[in-house]
Amino acid sequence: MKFDQYRISPDLKESIAKLGFKRPTDIQFKAIPHILKGEDVLAIAQTGTGKTAAFAIPVLNLLHERKLSQRRPDGIKCLVLAPTRELAIQITDVFLELGRHLKVKSFCIFGGVEQESQIQKLNKGLDLLVATPGRMFDLISQGHLNLSRVEILILDEADHMLDLGFLRDIEDVLRHLPKRRQTLFFSATIDEKIKKLAYRIVNKAIRIQISPKDPVTKKVQHSVVYIEMDDKRFFLERLVNQHEEEKILVFVRTKVRAERVVKAMARVGIEALSIHGDKEQSDRLQVMKEFRSGKTKLLIATDVSSRGIDIPDVSYVINYDMPEQVENYVHRIGRTGRGAQSGYAISFCSPSEKIILEEIETYLGKPITVIEMGKEDYKDTINFSEDHRPDWKALNKEMAAFEQSQKKKRKKKK
């Protein structure tokens, strides 16, 4: 089935075609018809399968049709909750691109920035709001946000929301919403905690689960190479220099590690940017803008950027540090090989991280391909690094000074 065969607005079909979408992905094919019927949906699908469009296309069509039949503005009709600011912005961009020819006003609110411009936008009237929990509750408590007219609730990356401790927030928001509503629950993974939450908020939901035997998409070729912890910077330098025109996303374990890797790359003349929780929101947005556009080719990130973020044309994902949570391995390497493109993921595994590698392989149900590296190749990588080479200028100065001192000594003897 093709998108132009769906019974949706011609204007929406036009936007879909402009984005290059022709046929729905599995999750889109299974979810869209049920959402268009107004049914609750509980969808489980791996990252990179087109989940956002799976709910954005039918929801935009529903809101557009209802708005055409209702003359008076009636408040926010759809609320989308997302766990992070980056994901919230990305979801909003999808709604805006798909809904550019429709009579649906979409907007995004999140913390870390001034709220006045967000309040002004809310006062002008909206149909669809994408929000992170913190800023949403701030504006509700201040009386700037009313959710009593919401007809559709969407929880995206629900498992990550629970990981971040948003369970209480999700339960609280339900008290502000009408009991009669359509609920769409999207998650990358399913466990007992997720099931308990889902079945508490959905009503006779259609359950859709896209779970291939291999949680890693076939479009990503992933492997591991054994490297000592202190040598990882040399191998990242080598890979970047070998793929100067490629966009490379590097994941590290902590904010401190992110900044250290940026500095290590700067020492060898490689420009890199970092993104993590300690950065101001304006800085994070600028970093993402530069990396998306390709102005910056190397981005060092913590796991704040591994969930749900769709960054175009990432050729390589590097696990500079092995992820502490095994599920994050799949989410990290899912940043490449998106859509119709293929990609590569390489994990730098130190001896102390081998236990994490074993846990990941158990989770995947099979071993990860090992890149064999000989001792000479390993040594050459370090020896030819700009960060490992001797400072010849300093050595020459030192030698000249030594020779000068020797000449003076000889003169004195004479």
CA–CA distance, 158 with 164 (Å, rounded to integer): 10
Q: Residue 392 falls within a domain, yes or no?
A: no
Q: Residue 400 falls within a domain, yes or no?
A: no
Residues 197, 248 share a domain: no
Residues 93, 23 share a domain: yes
Q: Residue 393 falls within a domain, yes or no?
A: no
pLDDT of residue 392: 45
Task: List the chain pLDDT tens, one digit each, 414 residues.
Answer: 789 889 999 999 999 999 888 899 889 999 999 999 999 999 987 766 788 999 999 999 999 998 877 655 678 999 999 988 888 998 999 999 999 999 899 999 998 888 999 999 999 999 999 999 889 999 999 999 999 999 999 999 888 788 778 888 888 888 889 989 999 999 877 778 888 888 888 888 899 988 656 667 778 899 999 999 999 999 999 999 999 999 999 999 999 999 999 999 999 999 999 998 788 878 888 888 899 899 999 999 998 765 656 788 899 999 999 998 888 898 888 888 876 778 999 999 999 999 999 999 998 889 999 999 999 999 999 988 877 654 545 545 655 665 676 566 556 655
Q: Which whole-number Å values give the CA distances from 293 to 247, 311, 312, in the listed order?
A: 10, 9, 9
pLDDT per position as a tens digit, 180-209: 999 999 987 777 888 888 888 888 889 998
Residues 100, 235 share a domain: no
Residues 140, 7 share a domain: yes
Residues 192, 315 share a domain: no
pLDDT of residue 413: 53
SS3 93: helix
Q: Tell me the pTM.
A: 0.72
Print the domain residue range for 29: 3-210
Residues 267, 233 share a domain: yes
pLDDT of residue 247: 95
Residues 258, 179 share a domain: no
- Picking from 157, 179, 210, the residue at the C-terminal end of a domain is 210
Q: In 235-297, at which residue ranges do the beta strands (DSSP E only) sit?
A: 247-251, 273-275
- Taking a C-beta distance cutoff of 8 angstroms, is the pair 187, 43 a contact? yes
CA–CA distance, 220 with 283 (Å, rounded to integer): 30
Residues 264, 172 share a domain: no
Residues 285, 170 share a domain: no
Q: Residue 412 falls within a domain, yes or no?
A: no
Number of domains in the chain: 2
Phi and psi (nearest 5°) for 266?
Answer: -60, -35
Q: Residue 399 falls within a domain, yes or no?
A: no
Q: Residue 410 falls within a domain, yes or no?
A: no
pLDDT per position as a tens digit, 377-395: 999 999 888 776 545 455 4
Q: Give the CA-trace dihedral at 160, 163, 165, 166, to 10 degrees.
A: 20
Residues 104, 177 share a domain: yes
Report the run of H or E that residue 80 belongs to, with start and end.
Answer: strand 78-81
- Taking a C-beta distance cutoff of 8 angstroms, is the pair 24, 32 a contact? yes
CATH number of the structural domain spanning residue 239: 3.40.50.300
Pair of tokens at residue 230:
């202190």
- Picking from 167, 185, 210, the residue at the C-terminal end of a domain is 210
Classify burial at 20, counting beta carbons within 10 Å of its beta carbon; exposed 0-12, middle 13-18, buried 19 or more.
exposed
